[in-house]
């Protein structure tokens, strides 16, 4: 057996002999030198006292060294299972031996002492986030060299200058002295016409040339520039030109940073050459484009209108600070500006009013059926309010990293764009504010670095989600692995009869995970721990030492973002890719609605009450987290429900069984952090991957040809940036505001009454007439013997963008066999639910007052017993038909909902009065995150009426 095992056994026996139950190996409380272990290394403390430090961590044994254990080690007592009592000299000797221990899984020959057959080496899982934080095929000996290359990238970022950023002299001069005025398009109609023609043709060269020819044929005096000329004109006008950088033909790396002078790819087994030779010229075999952010940022302030929009963060921050200074408590978390980390950064001066706050978002694939064949990153400007920052015209592509293979060194591709940001952070970016007519200096700050799951393993430098410390927020929870397994799982409860070295720590509580020392915030505590452990990894002297320290700390390399002079966070944000591991043909929105919208009702009849109630805790917490504006009063309840869900998940499903460790995934663990992170950095929806996924979708739709997809995508990204800049500079070129469809009536406050409309007016009788009479009498209108005569309307657009339809038209369409989208169920502002039968305006001649009304059928109040059992997320109501006719103001309609039949449980179905008690019972499904429905998408007001047919006007 290996020496370190014998040493452990000897120390364990000595601990029992000397009776030292109250001492344990823990992390040092302060100080760190090159020779000291990290926070989860070896030190002494009394295990009876609570400190915010991790349990001892041991280096992984070789698979060949591992002994199958079916019983506790000799002399192990219940009191000593969670700690190994050692005297300090022995601990130091053990650490020295571990310092020179071989790499895990090297498979050294060892002695078999009769404890069973020695298992063979366990191969690393083929997962992009496990083992070497990137499964890029490089040999193990290259790991330490890669760490050193990462340091070189970081050092270069710290000394970044604009002169070395590969920008031409004219662009650099413009960054330091921006234009103060714009061309007057009114004085040059030909110039304006050419620009609009270029934008309206979707940058199609063929369409532009055809329209140009037709226009000049009609009017020979018209001077319209050629397509090549208009491209040059747009580039000169916006100042946005791509930075072209050489890259490996196999997408392994870009020739930047430490690879800048390389003639061959350092990652390809064939050492692919960088250039091809044509005569006396050497031409790069392949390049990629980076779109620098500085010129894009300057265009955002060149028009008065857009410059005013860009002051949203400044205005809201001032209002929020004023309220807090007056002692007014914060009721809602409305945006990132309300987060504790942002307010602390403003208070400390890290972020000023003139700075740019940016979100970096990376990771995408060009085709659904292929894996990560193309990487794209974007910039999202947080100076704009959430109603504008996610619009197509305000999302700026940063670079397109072509495939067909995923990069083996992603940092080399990110380097040109980040180098440009670092140079602007050191020197500052000069911006002319057209609204205030002033020149100011801005320093861009990346407040979020987001990515999907594969990309995040590259960006933050941590081990992947299957690593021993796989939490993306770098909390102290250490994972547990199965015997002879390679993957770690974040189980809080220790399995029964479990003695896997390095993983056999005791049960972990929520206080251990979320707790911080008094007076220290989570961000400060985590950042200090991360920096301390990072220094420990960086001082590794050899590959063996690096592998051990990497395992102990969960840090594979420093993040390239740490090289930026001004950085809001210590490392990347957790991934927000909602479509992870879902079949590519099934959309993320569909999956989200199925799980958090439909499943609570569909599982009502399938799950036992205990398990259904447990699942509803998850749904209740997630629904709150999906809100754009999170009321503070809901935050604590949602947090408590999610903590209960995590704890009960382990108790009900995992049950401390080693064979079920894989039940506990990082997706379950991340729920512990979900609500606290909302308070720390703002609602998760604001920094999710939806924006990037949307941009990739519409850029891909514009490609048109798959012959050269990567070159086409890069070209489309460049044109998108230039057109966005034009729209910011000339608001008249921006997409025209929504115009009302023909015949629509604007009711103000965001309500629009829309066709179809009945061909003639009709009298009301029966319950409908009685309901209208009741409404008018409530408004003080004397009805008398009057018989109502109305015109029916079919649809109304609500302020949130949804379109509510009516039973009048939907039922008519169903009778004709048409496929009808049922959108007539609505939620009213008084939290009641109703079916909209039809809409109609009504004018009272005596007072010359016009009411815009809806005839509705009200559902019964939600079943209180079901609500209580399901933690108020399953609202079961009964349809009451004509018994509940009521007239309401159209502006009382808040949103469109779905009413889905609620299946019967077994005991309900067996009830002899089931038909009377449970018939016509439906459960409510509301649109998740409804207050963010306008983020880059809206329903078409002028869509064709699905029903058509009789009654249309």
773-785 confidence digits (pLDDT tens): 999 988 888 877 7
For residue 348, what pLDDT is reported? 84
Rounded CA separation 325/327 (Å): 5
Checking phi first, is residue 831 left (phi over 0); if not, alpha (psi -120 to 50) or beta?
left
Average pLDDT over residues 50-64: 36
pLDDT at 26 over 50: no
Cα Dmax for the chain: 104
Return the SS3 of 874.
Answer: coil
The pLDDT of residue 708 is 67
Q: Which span out of 62-66, 130-134, 533-537 was modeled with the highest average pLDDT? A: 533-537
Residue 502: closest CA among 555, 548, 537, 460: 548
pLDDT of residue 796: 94
Examine the pLDDT at 729 and tell me if it is beyond 70. Answer: yes
Higher pLDDT, 453 or 684: 684
Whole-number pLDDT of residue 67: 35
- For domain 745-932, give the CATH number: 2.30.30
pLDDT band at 412 (very low <50, low <70, confident <90, very high): very high
Paired tokens of 736? 């025209």
d(CA 203, CA 717): 11
What's the pLDDT score for residue 697? 66
| 302, 442, 443 from 164: Cα distances, Å | 27, 20, 18
Is omega for the bond preceding 404 within 30 degrees of 0, making it cis?
Answer: yes
Other Cβ atoms within 10 Å of 947 Cβ, number: 23
Handedness of CA 420, 422, 426, 432 (dihedral sign): positive
Percent of the chain with pLDDT over 90: 32
Predicted confidence at residue 365, as pLDDT, reads: 58
Tokens of 595: 């799980």
Q: What is the pLDDT of residue 22?
A: 34
Q: Are strands 357-362 and 445-451 parallel, antiparallel or unpaired?
A: parallel
Q: Which residue has the tokens 């809080």?
A: 492
In this prediction, residues 745-749 reach a mean pLDDT of 89
Average pLDDT for residues 183-196, to the nearest whole number? 84
CA torsion, points 766, 772, 777, 780, in degrees to nearest 10?
-150
Contact (CB, 8 A) for 194 and 224:
yes
Q: Which of 688, 513, 570, 560 lies closest to 134, judged by CA?
A: 560
Q: What is the structure's pLDDT at 798?
A: 92
- The answer, yes or no, to whether residue 106 has pLDDT greater than 60, is no
Report the distance separating Cα 419 and Cα 407, nearest Å.
19
Dihedrals φ, ψ of 162, to 5°?
-65, -35
Q: Which residues of 704-718 are buried (b: 16+ CB within 10 A; e: fewer)?
A: eeeeebbbbbbbbbb
Q: Between these two residues, 77 and 772, which has the higher pLDDT value?
A: 772
Instruction: Please tell me the predicted confidence (pLDDT) of residue 647.
Output: 96
pLDDT band at 614 (very low <50, low <70, confident <90, very high): very high
pLDDT one-digit tens code per residue, 141-180: 556 778 888 889 999 999 999 999 999 999 999 999 999 9
pLDDT of residue 53: 35
Tokens found for residue 670: 């991340």
Task: Bin 497: left if φ > 0, else alpha if -120 < ψ < 50, else beta.
Answer: left
Nearest-angstrom CA–CA distance, 207 and 197: 9
Comparing CA positions, the residue from 139, 132, 101 lying closest to residue 544 is 101
Q: What is the mean pLDDT of the chain?
A: 77
pLDDT at 137: 43
> Count of residues for the chain?
953
User: Residue 835's pLDDT is what?
Assistant: 95
Q: What residues pair up with 449 in beta bridges, in sequence order?
A: 360
pLDDT tens for each residue of 630-658: 778 888 899 999 999 999 999 999 999 99
pLDDT in the model for residue 109 = 30
pLDDT at 367: 56
Lowest mean pLDDT among 236-240, 546-550, 612-616: 546-550
pLDDT digits (tens, 9 = 90+) for 260-317: 999 999 998 889 999 999 888 999 999 999 999 999 999 999 999 999 999 999 998 9
Bridge partners (DSSP) of residue 753 are 745, 796
Are residues 153 and 564 in contact, defined by beta-carbon separation less than 8 angstroms? no
Instruction: Compute the distance between CA of residue 508 and CA of residue 82 in angstroms, rounded to an integer.
Output: 11
Distance CA 692, CA 392 (A): 10
**pTM more than 0.85:** no
Cα dihedral angle (422, 425, 426, 432), rounded to 10 degrees?
Answer: 130
Residue 911 has pLDDT above 80, yes or no: yes
Instruction: Say if strands 480-481 and 488-489 run parallel, antiparallel, or are unpaired.
Output: antiparallel
Are 396 and 721 within 8 A, CB to CB? yes
Of 103-117, 161-175, 250-264, 905-919, least confident by mean pLDDT is 103-117
Those residues whose C-beta lies under 8 Å from the C-beta of residue 520, and which sit 6 or more positions away, are none
Q: Quick check: 102 pLDDT over 80?
A: no
750, 798 contact by CB (below 8 A): yes
Residues 297-328 as b/e (b if ≥16 CB within 10 A, e otherwise) read: bbbbbbbeebbebbbbbeebbeebeeeeeeee
Q: Residue ranges of the domains in the chain?
A: 149-243+288-317+348-460+699-733, 745-932
Quick one: pLDDT at residue 34? 39
Q: Which of 557, 564, 502, 507 is nearest to 533 (CA)?
A: 557
Predicted confidence (pLDDT) at residue 753 exceeds the cutoff of 90: yes
Residue 18: pLDDT band (50, 70, 90) is: very low
Report the distance separating Cα 388 and Cα 396, nearest Å.
13
Of the segments 131-135, 166-170, 500-504, 690-694, which one has the largest average pLDDT value? Answer: 166-170
Q: Give the range among 82-86, 614-618, 660-664 with minimum mean pLDDT.
A: 82-86
User: What's the rounded Cα separation, in Å, for the pair 705 and 204?
Assistant: 12
Q: SS3 breakdown of the chain: % helix, strand, coil, rounded to 5?
A: 40, 15, 45
Task: Quote the CA–CA distance of 56 and 81 in Å, as a whole number.
Answer: 12
Question: Cα separation of 951 and 808, whole Å?
Answer: 10
Please tell me whether the peptide bond between 756 and the residue prior to it is cis, using omega within 30 degrees of 0. Answer: yes
Q: What is the structure's pLDDT at 567?
A: 56
**Averaged over 566-574, what is the pLDDT?**
40
The DSSP line for 926-949 is PPTTGGGTTSS----TTPPPSS-S
Q: Are the beta carbons of 668 and 649 closer than 8 angstroms?
A: yes
| Number of other CB atoms surrounding residue 405 within 10 Å | 15
Q: Which two tokens stand for residue 384?
A: 């704009």
Contact between 102 and 43 under an 8 Å Cβ cutoff? The reply is no
CA–CA distance, 769 with 763 (Å, rounded to integer): 9
Going 57 to 59 to 63 to 69, the CA torsion angle's sign is negative
55 by Cβ neighbours in 10 Å (0-12 / 13-18 / 19+) ranks as buried
| Sheet strand arrangement including 921-925 | 876-878, 921-925, 898-901
Q: Are 800 and 897 in contact (CB under 8 A)?
A: no
- In the predicted model, is pLDDT for residue 132 greater than 70? no
Output the pLDDT for position 178.
93
pLDDT for 625: 86
Contacts 24+ apart (CB under 8 A), 910-918: none
| Residue environment code for 112-130, b if the CB has 16+ CB neighbours within 10 A, otherwise e | eeeeeebeeebebeebbbb
- pLDDT grade for 373, boundaries at 50, 70 and 90: low
What whole-number distance in Å separates Cα of residue 896 and Cα of residue 834? Answer: 10
Residue 603, C-beta contacts closer than 8 angstroms, at least 6 positions apart = 612, 615
Q: Tell me the CB-side half-sphere exposure of residue 193, using CA atoms within 13 A.
A: 13
């Amino acid at each position: 057996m290996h020496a370190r095992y014998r040493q452990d056994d000897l120390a364990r026996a000595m601990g029992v002999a000397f009776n030292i139950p109250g001492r344990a190996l823990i992390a040092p409380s302060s100080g760190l030198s090159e020779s000291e272990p990290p926070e989860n290394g070896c030190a002494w403390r009394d295990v009876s006292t609570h400190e915010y430090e991790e349990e001892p961590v041991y280096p992984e044994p070789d698979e060949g060294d591992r002994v199958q254990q079916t019983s506790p080690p000799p002399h192990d007592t219940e009191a000593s299972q969670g700690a190994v009592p050692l005297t300090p000299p022995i601990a130091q000797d053990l650490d020295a031996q571990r310092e020179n221990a071989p790499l895990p899984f090297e498979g050294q020959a060892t002695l078999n002492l009769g404890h069973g057959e020695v298992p063979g080496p366990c191969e690393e899982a083929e997962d992009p986030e496990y083992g070497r934080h990137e499964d890029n095929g490089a040999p193990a000996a290259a790991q330490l060299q890669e760490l050193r290359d990462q340091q070189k990238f970081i050092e270069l970022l710290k000394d970044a200058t604009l002169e070395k950023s590969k920008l031409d002299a004219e662009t650099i001069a413009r960054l330091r002295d921006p234009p103060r005025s714009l061309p007057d398009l009114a004085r040059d109609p030909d110039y304006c016409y050419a620009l609009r023609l270029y934008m309206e043709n979707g940058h199609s060269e063929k369409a532009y040339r055809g329209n140009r020819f037709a226009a000049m044929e009609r009017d020979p005096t018209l001077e319209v520039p050629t397509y090549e000329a208009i491209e040059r004109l747009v580039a000169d006008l916006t100042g946005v030109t791509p930075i072209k950088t050489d890259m490996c033909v196999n997408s392994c790396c870009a020739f930047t940073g430490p690879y800048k002078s390389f003639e061959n790819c350092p990652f390809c087994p064939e050492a692919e050459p960088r250039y091809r030779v044509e005569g006396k010229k050497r031409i790069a075999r392949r390049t990629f484009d980076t779109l620098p952010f500085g010129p894009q940022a300057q265009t955002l302030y060149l028009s008065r209108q857009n410059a005013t929009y860009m002051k949203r963060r400044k205005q809201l921050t001032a209002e929020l600070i004023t309220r807090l200074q007056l002692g007014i408590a914060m009721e809602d978390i409305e945006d990132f500006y309300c987060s504790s980390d942002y307010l602390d950064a403003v208070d400390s001066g890290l972020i000023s009013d003139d700075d740019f706050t940016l979100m970096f978002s990376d990771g995408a694939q060009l085709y659904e059926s292929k894996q990560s064949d193309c990487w794209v990153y974007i910039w999202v400007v947080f100076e704009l309010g959430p109603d504008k920052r996610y619009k197509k015209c305000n999302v700026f592509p940063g670079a397109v990293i072509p495939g067909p293979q995923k990069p083996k060194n992603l940092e080399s591709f990110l380097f040109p764009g980040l180098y440009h940001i670092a140079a602007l952070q050191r020197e500052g970016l000069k911006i002319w504010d057209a609204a205030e007519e002033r020149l100011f200096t801005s320093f861009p700050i990346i407040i979020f670095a987001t990515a999907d799951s594969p990309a995040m393993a590259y960006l933050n430098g941590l081990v992947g989600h299957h690593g021993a410390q796989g939490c993306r927020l770098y909390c102290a929870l250490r994972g547990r692995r199965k015997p002879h397994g390679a993957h770690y799982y974040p189980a809080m409860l220790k399995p029964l009869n479990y003695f896997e070295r390095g993983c056999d720590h005791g049960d972990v509580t929520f206080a251990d995970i979320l707790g911080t020392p008094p007076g220290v915030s989570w961000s400060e505590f985590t950042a200090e721990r991360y920096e301390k452990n990072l220094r420990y990894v960086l001082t590794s002297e050899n590959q063996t030492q690096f592998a051990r320290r990497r395992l102990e700390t969960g840090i594979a390399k420093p993040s390239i973002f740490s090289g930026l002079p001004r950085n809001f966070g210590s490392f990347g944000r957790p991934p927000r890719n909602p479509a992870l591991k879902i079949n590519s043909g099934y959309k993320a929105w569909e999956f989200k609605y199925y799980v958090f919208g439909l499943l609570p009702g569909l599982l009502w009849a399938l799950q036992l009450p205990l398990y259904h109630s447990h699942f509803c805790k998850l749904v209740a917490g997630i629904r709150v987290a999906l809100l754009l504006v999170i009321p503070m009063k809901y935050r604590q309840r949602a947090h408590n429900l999610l903590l209960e869900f995590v704890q009960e998940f382990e108790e009900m499903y995992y049950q401390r069984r080693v064979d079920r460790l894989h039940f506990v995934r990082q997706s379950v663990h991340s729920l512990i952090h979900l609500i606290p992170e909302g308070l720390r950095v703002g609602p998760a929806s604001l920094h999710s991957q939806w924006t990037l996924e949307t941009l990739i979708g519409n850029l891909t739709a514009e490609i048109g040809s798959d012959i050269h997809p990567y070159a086409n995508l890069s070209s489309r990204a460049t044109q998108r940036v230039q057109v966005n800049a034009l729209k910011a500079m000339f608001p008249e070129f921006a997409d025209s505001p929504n115009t009302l469809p023909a015949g629509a009536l604007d009711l103000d406050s965001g309500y629009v009454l829309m066709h179809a409309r009945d061909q003639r007016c009709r009298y009301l009788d029966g319950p409908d007439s009685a309901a209208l009479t009741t409404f008018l009498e409530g408004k003080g209108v004397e009805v008398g013997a009057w018989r109502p005569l109305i015109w029916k309307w079919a649809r109304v657009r609500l302020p949130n963008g949804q379109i509510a339809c009516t039973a009048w038209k939907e039922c008519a369409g169903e009778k004709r066999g048409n496929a009808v989208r049922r959108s007539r169920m609505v939620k009213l502002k008084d939290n009641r639910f109703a079916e909209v039968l039809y809409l109609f305006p009504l004018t009272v001649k005596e007072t010359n007052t016009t009411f815009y009304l809806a005839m509705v059928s009200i559902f019964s109040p939600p079943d209180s017993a079901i609500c209580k059992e399901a933690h108020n997320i399953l609202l079961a109501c009964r349809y009451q038909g004509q018994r509940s006719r009521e007239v309401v103001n159209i502006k009382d309609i808040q949103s469109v909902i779905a009413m889905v039949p609620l299946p019967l449980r077994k005991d309900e179905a067996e009830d002899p009065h089931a038909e009377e008690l449970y018939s016509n019972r439906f459960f409510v499904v509301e649109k998740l995150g409804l207050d963010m429905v306008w983020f880059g998408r809206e329903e078409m007001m002028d869509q064709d009426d699905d029903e058509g047919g009789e009654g249309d006007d």
